[in-house]
Amino acid sequence: MTIHKEGYTTIALSVLFIFIINAIVDYKFSDIVWLRWFVYILSFALFVIVLQFFRNPSRTFTTGDNLVICPADGKVVVIEETEEGEYFKDRRLQVSIFMSPINVHINRNPISGVVKFFKYHPGKYLAAWNPKSSTENERTTTVVEHQNGTPVLFRQIAGALARRIVWYIKEGDQVTQTEQFGFIKFGSRVDIFLPIGTKVNLQLDQVVKGGITVLAELS
């Protein structure tokens, strides 16, 4: 397992913060042993939490021309038909994956193809499970056209804790299934919009892994 590049600055700042807090406690409260040990333990726990958030575990990925692979780790919170109003402007099958702070937060391309549309939206930081987060939170929208002509839309959505969405793609790019297309820091959600009638291989509340779990099959 390695540490993702998006974590380098955050981890460095966390180490600096922990060092300063411990130095202050050691200087001001050197005679209060229990308080010092409490801060030491809390500091260690904070460091471990930040470190695990930015982990980049080694994986054997699942690929397939007609497969849609989960773009993120997390839990399936939505499988429903809905109106997609930004790009398609018609009814689509929506699958949403909630990423808690303990999940790996790397986002991966669900299919291979050409990026036909990309847009970043600044916005609010509602809880990621709030239905309005799809349209009101900070987010990105990406549409990749499969080689068979089927467009798949996927959306990074910031959550209540997330304060930065990172993306590595732009319109016109040729992307490869399971390769990284972005990263969301500290709790978030990814929505995928598929054609009505697409065979979905997931169930509500199912735990999935990005780049491994098969989300759906394209016809």
Which residues are annotated as catalytic? 188
Distances (CA, A) of 43 to 14, 33, 50, 87: 9, 15, 11, 45
Burial of residue 55 (number of CB atoms within 10 Å: 0-12, 13-18, 19+): middle
How far is residue 80's CA from residue 143's CA, in Å, rounded to a whole number?
Answer: 19
For residue 1 the two structure tokens come to 């397992």
CB atoms within 10 A of CB 85: 10
In this structure, the chain runs to a length of 219
Q: Are 107 and 210 within 8 A, CB to CB?
A: yes
